[in-house]
Structure 1
Amino acid sequence: MPHLPDDDDWLLQERRAIGDRIRVARLRQNRTQESVFLAARIGRKTYQDIEAGAVDARITTLLRIAYALGIHPAGLLRD
């Protein structure tokens, strides 16, 4: 099993990568943040923070976002 790095910079990088994937999927569909967070039934601030990579997202919230975007949830976690 791989050893986790001593610092948490990698976590921030991963959160930002997930947020970037969400933003790219949204923009490819020419959708606004509002259309996605309303469809996902989550708050505006929560959505904005997730897309910015500023917070840890609950799996339920990521599932809601993926469903609202019509993409497989695994697509948010990997390239």
Structure 2
Amino acid sequence: MPHLPDDDAWLLKERRAIGDRIRVTRLRRDMTQESVFLAARMSRSAYQEIEAGMADARVSTLWKIARVLGVHVTDLLHD
């Protein structure tokens, strides 16, 4: 069985990477956090936690964010 990295450290790293991709995409489109979370119909705090890499996002939430940002959801999951 392959050795897996520490789950907590690995998940934190992945959450931060997704949040970074969301933030970079948002800024490239000259959008504010407010414009994204309002269009995605989610709370400010939930959006900010996802973008900061501090919270897990449901797949449906990532789909909504990706749609608002005009990208495919896989763009938020992969480099």
- The 5-angstrom pairing of residues 10-25 of structure 1 reads 10-25=10-25
Alignment of 1:1-79 (within 5 A): 2-79=2-79
Amino acid in the other structure paired with 1:77: L
Unaligned segments of structure 2, at least 5 residues:
none
- Determine what percentage of the aligned residue pairs are the same residue: 70
Cα RMSD (Å): 1.3
Q: Find the residue that maps to 1:61 and give its secondary structure.
A: helix
4+ residue stretches of structure 1 with deviation over 2 A? 1-7
Q: What is the total number of aligned residue pairs between the two structures?
A: 79
TM-score by length of 1: 0.93
SS of 1:8's equivalent? Answer: helix
TM-score, length-scaled by structure 2: 0.93
1:8 CA drift (Å): 1.5
Aligned equivalents of 1:72, 1:2: Cα separation in 2: 31
**Which runs of 5 or more structure 1 residues have no equivalent in the other structure?**
none
